[in-house]
Chain A
């Protein structure tokens, strides 16, 4: 006489639903994060934007004389938004697109061998605005096939007042 053995799987299904509920309630969809990786050295003094002979360059124990630093100044506008941008000695008119165009010129001109940038930032500037500028610099260095080298400094009260 054949006897069929039926395993009750209803309790197993109940347990499976319990586990599923636990994992659904503890699941948090993580937003995709990106990052700028950089070696942030202490701020170096800015050099003249005109190319100098290495022996004439200001001695700096942190920065080799062969590296040329492109000074950039970011001033805050209303509510900490991005106000005036100064690249070298020139004020950039036209926002971030104009900044990108100027950077492309500076980074690809063989007579202006800039390797790194010193960004002086208004203390009131919001991080969001700074990140958009870093984004532009990253794209510009990438387009010029150079490794982005950035250093940051805070705009002093005297520099901020001299607008």
Chain B
């Protein structure tokens, strides 16, 4: 009488802890993912400033209504996927101001020369002041008064 020499042993790794860790990772990435990056053009390299305030939601002086202007080092306005040269950029600012006024009228807000929208200015560190200044003055002429000049922290 011979005994069976081969006895199959199955190794079944426990997948439950692995699944737990994977769900932890998924939860982490779901919480930190930000799909609203289109306004923050990575082609613009911001200058560095040490004493500027961190960007926070509901920050004093920054209204919830914002208009992000990305300005390249050539002075072009990068907005809504377009690369606008300076003269078209000024036209676009006027157009945006018109849209804001139209929205305010539709919301029944009392008419005023000053617009409540905050201009988020993201200019490349090598942008010349002349390009920036023409855009700022056009914004002021269109009624925008609140500005947030963006920079990188040190």
Contact = CB atoms under 8 A, between A and B. Distances in A.
A20 B30 CA distance: 9
Contacts of B82: none
A33 B136 CA distance: 20
B49 interface: yes
A33 B120 CA distance: 12
Contacts of A13: 15, 18-19, 22
B86 to A, nearest CB: 13
Interface string B51-64: 11111000111100
A37 B151 contact: no
Contacts of B136: 40, 152
A126 interface: yes
Given A20-B25, A38-B146, A39-B147, 8 more contacts: A13-B19, A23-B26, A23-B30, A35-B150, A37-B53, A121-B129, A124-B130, A154-B133
Contacts of A33: 40, 46, 54-55, 150-153
Given A30-B40, A33-B150, A40 B49 contact: no
B34 A123 contact: no
20 contacts: A17-B22, A23-B30, A27-B32, A30-B34, A36-B149, A37-B146, A37-B147, A38-B149, A42-B137, A80-B126, A123-B130, A126-B126, A126-B127, A126-B129, A127-B128, A128-B48, A131-B151, A134-B149, A138-B52, A152-B133
B123 A36 contact: no
Given A122-B129, A126-B127, A128-B126, A36 B53 contact: yes
The 7 closest A-B pairs by CB, nearest first: A23-B29, A123-B130, A34-B52, A128-B125, A131-B47, A128-B47, A37-B61
A33 B149 CA distance: 10
Contacts of A128: 47-48, 125-126
A16 interface: yes
Interface of B: 15-16, 18-19, 22-23, 25-26, 29-30, 32-34, 37, 40, 46-55, 59-62, 118, 120, 123-130, 132-133, 136-137, 140, 145-153
Contacts, number: 154
Interface of A: 9-10, 12-13, 16-17, 19-20, 23-24, 26-28, 30-42, 80, 121-128, 130-132, 134-135, 138-139, 142, 152, 154
A158 to B, nearest CB: 16
Contacts of A23: 26, 29-30, 33
